[in-house]
Structures are given as structure tokens and as C-alpha cells.
Amino acid sequence: MAIFEELAKKDHEQVIYCFDKETGLKAIVGIHNTTLGPALGGCRMWNYEKEEDALIDVLRLSRGMTYKSAAAGLNLGGGKAVIIGDPKKIKSEALFRAYGRFIQGLGGRYITAEDVGTTVRDMEWVRHETDFVTGISRALGGSGDPSPVTALGTYEGIKASIKWQTGSESLEGKSVAVQGVGAVGYHLVQHLTRDGAKAFVCDIDQENLKRAANDFRGVEVVDPDKIYDVPCDVFAPCALGAVINDKTIPRLKCSIVAGSANNVLEVEDKHATALEAKGILYAPDYVINAGGLINVANELEGYNRERAVQAAAGIYQILWQVYTIAKDEKITTGKAANTLAERRLASIGRIKQRFVGVNMQKRARGII
């Protein structure tokens, strides 16, 4: 693969390969765009078949983070890291500390965090070697489990979507089909049922299902295969990606799709258009599920739960902006989210062209 050609396709800034023979560390850091600030994004550990697959993944994921941070109103750029290997086999303290030293060497251009295949404990090892890591436990002054904040943001996004469609944000008497009641889904059901909504829930994990069904009122359990067919106001995917596709769209009996799962649409443009054609309002996944990122970003300023929760509640207004752009410019809500992010990047990029001297305080926090 011609790497520079690959970087040019989607305007990536930098790719860094990190190798440590002793620990077996093979990591690739992708920095897509740092217009708004340091590139922040998780570190994924995955047993990629080919090195090229790892590179493609890190490029795709880092670009996604640029859009997510920009739309969320954060002063962060887009980055991501991948470590090649089986999380069950290659993890060690030395490997993560070796990774941390490489991250430190980037001087704050990239800030790492946990992702698929890595945990809070791994990041605590990373933290021994670098200042540029987030997603640390609450006990160590970090932001801890992001799921409740992601759920709160998703809940606010659902309210904004209902208000956009009906003129009232009240959940009283509304029904939401929640696919997956794991870390995020569980807390989402809590918010929804507290406000008087009925929740249809499904999960393939019986323990998680029981917990959600027993802990809250107004919950009805549905077979995982039947969740798409439930007549409801909102379908909230909170388990897997690519669940909105050619097979499921004809089955949906909702007027809104709004949930926490990443990459909900199997084919982005095609399925955003198909939902719109069916009169279903789609809350773009990376906008509505940004609560976790907002939570982790808060760590950079000294973690404050109240501030993080307040910022995540702002997802309501951000989605409103997305829907307004979609309506005014006659584009899908998916395209409108990208437009919102691109406009912020362009406008903040422009004002940054002016030299203003060095802000030592910000430099110390890694924000210039």
C-alpha cells in the first residue's frame, strides 16, 4: 500500500508506527486532524490478520474521532491507536508501559484512552509512562466508567428527537425499543422509564436482561429477533453496529432511530436515505453517543462529574442543530452531522491562523 496516497485520500496528518521487540508491542497511531486540539481517541487491541488491515482501521477510526469531537463542540482533534495482537495473549504491564512511552514521545499531539480490547487497568499501566492518557479510574482522579454519561447523552438525544417530531419532549406514554441492555442500555432504560416511557428490551445475555426487567417499571422483554418488529416511537440500538440495513429497515415500525451503538447504519448514505424515505428520523450515531467522549475529555481539565454530565446533556442542542441543518439544506441527518463538524473545523481553523503568542497554561495542559 502506498501510505502517503492513503493519507491523502482523507486528509490524515500523521501515522506513527511503534515497535518494541522485547514486549512484542506493535502499535500504529493515526492522527487525522488537530485543528481543534490534540487528537484524542481510544487504543484498540485487535488480532488483525494483516498489518494493512490495522492501518486501514486506524485511519478510519481516527477520522471518525475528528468528526465526533468537532460535532460535540470539544477542543480536540481526531486520533486513534491500534495495537496488533490478541488481547487474551499479549497483554502485559511492560507492553502497555512501552506503548505509554511512545505516546509520551508524541508530546501531546495524541491522547490515548481505552477502547475495544483494552481496559481501565491497561490505561493505568500506560499512565506510568505518559501524561497523555485518559479513561483512568475515578479512584485515581479519572473519569471512570463512561457508560452512565453516554446513556444520559442518548436520553437527551431521544428527547430532542421526539420534540423535533411532535413538538413536545415529554416521554410520558411514549415507547422505546432498546436493543441491548448492557452498560449503556441499562442506564438508558432507567432514564426513559423514570420519565413515564414504556421500554421494550431485548438482550442475548440473560443476566443483563433480568437486571433491566427487574429494576425498572414499564419494561417488557422481547425476543432479540423480534425487536425490529415492535411498534414503538423510538428504536434505540444499544448493542451492535450495522443493525440498520436492507433487511431491517422494512421491518421497523418506529418514527425515530436513536441509540448509543456505533456505526448503526450498514451503509452510511444509503441507509440514512432509506430511513428518511420511510419518514424515520435518524439521530446520527456519533452525535448522540458522544457522552462517553465528553466524559473522558473532561479529565483533561481535572475531572468533574457535574460538568461532564452537563456537557453531555448539551447533546440535545447539538442534535437540534443537526436536524435544523438537515431541514434547511434538504440533506439527510447523517450528512447534516458531517456538515456541522466540517463547518466548525473550517471556522475554528480560520481563526487559528493568527499568531497570538504562547499560552503557557494551555501548553502545560497540552491544549495548544
Q: Which residues bind ligand NAD (CB under 6 A)?
A: 146-147, 150, 179-185, 202-205, 208, 224, 238-240, 260-262, 289, 292
Phi/psi at 53 (5° precision) = -65, -40
Nearer to ligand NAD, 15 or 136 (CB): 136
Please say which residue, 30 or 153, places its beta carbon nearer to ligand NAD: 153
> Based on the number of CB atoms within 10 Å of its own CB, is 342 exposed (0-12), middle (13-18) or buried (19 or more)?
middle
For residue 137, how many other CB atoms are within 10 A of its CB? 14
Q: Which is nearer to ligand NAD, 108 or 117 (CB)?
A: 117
- Which single residue brings its beta carbon nearest to ligand NAD? 182
The answer to whether the CB of 18 falls within 8 A of the CB of 28 is yes
What is the smallest separation between the CB atom of 351 and ligand NAD, expressed in angstroms?
30
Say which DSSP state 265 is in.
Answer: B
Hey, what's the torsion of the CAs at 203, 118, 86, 31, to 10 degrees?
Answer: 110
- Smallest distance, Å, CB 319 to ligand NAD? 15
Return d(Cα 342, Cα 322) in angstroms, integer: 12
**Is the separation of the CB atoms in 84 and 15 below 8 Å?**
no
Q: Indicate if 253 belongs to the active site.
A: no
Nearest alpha-carbon partner for 40 in 283, 299, 284: 299
Question: Exposure string (b/e) for 211-234, b if CB count within 10 Å is 16 or more?
Answer: bbbeebeebeebeeeebbebebbb
Q: Which CB, 59 or 293, lies closer to ligand NAD?
A: 293
- CB 359 to ligand NAD: min, Å: 31
Rounded least distance, CB 368 to ligand NAD, Å: 28
Smallest distance from ligand NAD to CB 279, Å: 25
Q: Could you tell me the smallest distance in angstroms from the CB atom of residue 181 to ligand NAD?
A: 6
From 9, 26, 50, 80, active-site residue: 80
Query: Residue 182 burial (CB < 10 Å; 0-12/13-18/19+)?
Result: middle
> Do 201 and 176 touch, CB atoms closer than 8 A?
no
User: Which CB, 68 or 159, lies closer to ligand NAD?
Assistant: 68
Greatest CA separation found in the chain?
A: 61
Its sign, for the CA torsion 228, 230, 231, 233, is negative
Q: How far is CA 21 from CA 90, 153, 268, in A?
A: 13, 42, 39
Q: Which C-beta is closer to ligand NAD: that of 224 or that of 366?
A: 224
Residues designated catalytic = 80
